[in-house]
Amino acid sequence: MVSGSTDYFDMSDEISLLVVTREGAEDRRFGLGKSLYPVLEQLDLRGVRYLYLSQEHAGARSSMFLLKVQKWLVTLLRPFFPDTEIGALSGGILQRINMGRLAAKVAYHQGFTHVHCHDPIIAAGFQWFRYWYGLFRHSRVKHGLTQHGFGSYTQAIHEDGALMGTAAMTWMRWWERRILRRAGWVVIPTEAGKKQLARDLSEYPIPDHWHVIPHPRPALAMPDRLSARKQLGWGGDQFVVLGVGRNASLKRFDRLIQACAALGDKDLHLILIGPGEDGGLRRIAERHGLPEKQLHLTVCDDPSLFYAAADLYVSTSETESFGMANLEAMMAGLPVLATAVGGVPEVLGNGAWLLSPSDPKALTEAIDALRNDQDLRLNLVWRARMRAARWPDSSAIAAEYLSLYKTGQLTSANNKQQKFQARGVPGAKKSLSLYPLPAYLSLHKKLRVLVLAPHPDDETLGVGGTLAALSAIGSNTKVVAVTDGGGGDPEHKFQGPAAKIRRREFRKALSVLGVKSFEQWNFVDGQCVNNEALRIRIQSEIHAFKPDWLMVPAPLDIHRDHVAVSLATIAAWARAGGECRLFFYEVTQPLPVTHLVDISSWKALKMKAINVYRLPLSYCDYSAIAEGLISYRKGVCASSDTAVEAFMELTPGEIQPTVAALMTLRKRIEAV
C-alpha cells in the first residue's frame, strides 16, 4: 500500500503552519477562505502559529516573469498537444507552481514546521523548490495537501475550462498521482470524493495517507425572518428562491432561471449571489420570459441575511466536490433543493430534497411543489435542522487536523467502532465519519396517513407503534389490508376459514391501536400479483384518501405478496404524481432507513396488538421478530432507552435507481 514518506511524522509537539492557496481576496467570500479561517482560528487557540498565504502575496515581478515563461511554453508545447488549450493550462500550472515556490521560501525564512497546500500543483511547486532550501540550507518542512475537487484535480481543471486532449490528460493524471504519493498527507472533504479520486488516478488500494475531513459547520449570524425581509425590502407575499455561488457554467444557473420562468408566478423572485459577469444570465432570463424585476443578481461578503429571508434554497450544479453554500443553507434552516452530484448527497444526506442534474423538468416540478406546500417546506426545514445539528464544528475539525499534523492519522482512524460512533451509540467517542443518519419524523394532528398492509398483521408488525401514536394525537389514519389472509392456516390449526379469523383479528388489533378507519380488499392470499388491477385499486385509494404519507413494505421483503404490493404501490404513487411522501416500513427484516419514529410510549400497545394475531403467532413468533427489530435499531441509530420504528423514504427522483438497487439485492439474496 502506498503511503506518505516515513520521515514526515517524527515530530515535536510544537507546530507552526503555513496554509497555501491560489485564491485572491474576492475568492475568500465563496471559496476556501470561508471554511479555512474558522479552523485556523481554532488551531491558533491551541497554540499553532499560522500564516494564510494566497495570491495576494505573489509579487508583481514574478507575475511578469510567469507571463514570459507561459508564452515560451505555449510555443514549445502546442505542436505536441494540438487538442489541448495550452495557454489556459500552462498559465494555471505556472501560477500554482509559483505559489509553491513562494511557500517553500516563506516556510524556510519564517521557520514553519508544516505546509498545507490547498492544490496539488501548489504542492508540486513546493516539492520542487523545497530542495533548494532543504538540501542547500539544511531545512526540512513537513507538507501535505487537500484535494478540493471531486476526484482528480486534472479533471476539475479540464471541466473548468482548460480543455485537455487524451495525451495531456494522461500526462497530467500521472503527474498528479506522483504529487500525491510524495505528500505527507492528502485530505479530501468527502468519502465519495476520496473514492472518485482513487478511481481517477487508478490508485488501488486507496493509500493510507489519504484522509477524509469535511468542512466545519459554518457560523452564521442569522437575524429573524421578518427583520431580514425588512432590511432587504422584500414584500411578505414574495416567494424567494435563493442560489449562491460564483457565476460559472458548472453551476448551471441557467437551468434555475429557466425553471423559475416556467412557473409563470409574478410573486416568485430569484436571487443569485456570487461573483461573475451577469449579462449572460440576464439574457437567459429575457429569453425564457423571466421578468427583469424578478431576477436579482448581487455579491455580498455574508449571505446570512439572504438565508434568513429566503423561502427556498436551490443548487443546480453539474459537479460539486462538497458544496459549502449547500451546507450553509442547511445550517440556516432553509428547505434545500439540490442536484445529487459529487459529494452533495454525502453532505446533505436526508436534510435536503435531491434531484437528478439531467432532469430540468423535475427541478421545475420540485420548486412548484415546495412553493405551494408549506407543510412540505416545513418538513424539509426540520430535516435540515436535524442534519445540521449533527455536523462537526470548527473546533472538532481543528482537532482532527492537529492530530493529522502530529501523528499522520485522524483521532478516529484506528477506532473499530467508527461506524457505530457516527450514529451516536451511548458511551462511544465522537467521530467525524458522516454517514447519512436517520432523522426522526414529526407526528402532528393534521397528518393523513395511509398504510397498505399486504396481509392482516403486517400493519401492526411494521407500523403499530406509529399508528398508536398518530391515533393518540387525532391524526387521520387509514389501514388497508390488501389480501384476505386466507392462506394463513395451511396446517388447519384453527377451526373455521382462515380469512374470517384473520379479518376478526385485524379489526381487534386496529382497535387496540386506536385506528378507526380501515378496510380489506380481499385479494387472494399468496397469489397477489403486481398487475394493472392492483395498481389501479391503489391509485384510486390514493386519489380518494389524499394522504400526506403513504406507507408500504419494501420490495426487498421476503414474502412475494409484499413485493407485489410494494411494486404496485410505487407505480400507482408515481402515476398519482408522487404528491404524498412514500415510506417503506420494516416487517421482518431491517432496511437501509432514512427516518425513525419514537414509539417508546407506544411499544407496549404495539406488542399487545401483535399478540391479538393468535393465528399467525401459532406459526411464527412475530413478537420476538418485532422485539428484535426494535433492539437492533437501538444499537444502530437510536439510544439505548428509545424504542423506534424505522422507515426508508422514496422520493420521485429516486424511483428507478432505488428500486433497481433493491431488486438487484433481492435477486442476489434469492440466488444464495
Range of weakest confidence among 21-25, 524-528, 626-630: 21-25
**Strand pairing partners for 337?**
314, 353
Cα separation values, 116 from 21, 38, 186, 422, 482, Å: 9, 16, 9, 27, 61
Are the C-beta atoms of residues 662 and 556 closer than 8 Å to each other? yes
Each as own residue / partner, the long-range contacts of residues 169-176 (CB below 8 Å, 24 or more positions apart, any chain) are 173/200, 173/201, 173/202, 175/124, 176/120, 176/152, 176/201
User: What integer is the mean pLDDT of 507-535?
Assistant: 93
The reported pLDDT for the residue numbered 672 is 45
The pLDDT score that the predictor gives to residue 333 is 85
| Residue ranges, CATH 3.40.50.10320, the chain | 443-671
Strand partners, 355: 339
Q: Does the structure show a pLDDT above 50 at 240?
A: yes
> 204 with 198: CB under 8 angstroms?
yes
d(CA 575, CA 291): 33
185-207 as b/e: b if 16+ CB within 10 A: bbbbbbebbbebbbebbebeebb
Q: Residue 470 pLDDT > 80, yes or no?
A: yes
CATH 3.40.50.2000 maps onto the chain at: 225-389
Torsion of Cα atoms, 333 then 118 then 54 then 91, to 10°: -120
Query: Could you say which architecture CATH assigns to the domain 225-389?
Result: 3-Layer(aba) Sandwich (3.40)
Arithmetic mean of pLDDT, 661-670: 63
Would you state the pLDDT for residue 665?
A: 63
User: Cell digits for 112?
Assistant: 514553519
Domain with CATH 3.40.50.2300 in the chain: 12-212
Q: Which residues partner with 617 through β-bridges?
A: none
How many residues are present in the chain? 672
Please state the rounded mean pLDDT for residues 476-496: 91
Mean pLDDT of all residues in 335-339: 93
Note the pLDDT tens digit of each residue in 92-105: 788 888 888 899 98
Q: What is the pLDDT of residue 636?
A: 63
Residue 328 has pLDDT above 80, yes or no: yes
pLDDT over threshold 60, residue 28: no
**Letter string b/e over residues 252-281, b meaning 16 or more CB atoms within 10 A of that residue's CB:** bbbbbbbbbbbbeeeebbbbbbbebebeeb
Residue 414, pLDDT score = 38
Q: Name the nearest CA neighbour of 569 among 559, 558, 583, 588.
A: 583
- Residue 663 has a pLDDT of 66
Residue 432: per-residue pLDDT: 38
pLDDT over 90 at 4, yes or no: no
User: Confidence band (pLDDT; 50, 70, 90) for 425?
Assistant: very low
Q: What is the pTM of this model?
A: 0.60
Q: Which fold has domain 443-671?
A: Rossmann fold (3.40.50)
Q: Does residue 69 carry a pLDDT above 90?
A: no
Q: What integer is the mean pLDDT of 213-238?
A: 85
* Spatial distance between the Cα atoms of 454 and 561, rounded to a whole number of angstroms: 6
Nearest to 271 by CA among 334, 223, 209: 334
Q: What does the H/E/C string look like for 346-391? A: HHHHHHCEEECCCCHHHHHHHHHHHHHCHHHHHHHHHHHHHHHHCC
Chain centroid to Cα 453, Å, comes to 31
Kindly state the percentage of the chain with pLDDT values over 90. Answer: 41
Q: Which CATH architecture has domain 12-212?
A: 3-Layer(aba) Sandwich (3.40)
Which triple of cell numbers denotes residue 131?
530542495
CA 139 to each of CA 108, 112, 113: distance values in angstroms, whole numbers, following the listed order? 7, 10, 10
What grid cell was written down for 654?
429516486
pLDDT in tens, 256-312: 999 999 999 888 999 999 876 666 888 998 898 998 888 999 888 778 899 999 999
Instruction: Single out the residue of 141, 135, 132 nearest to residue 183, CA to CA.
Output: 141
d(CA 19, CA 40): 9
Q: What is the CA radius of gyration of the chain?
A: 29
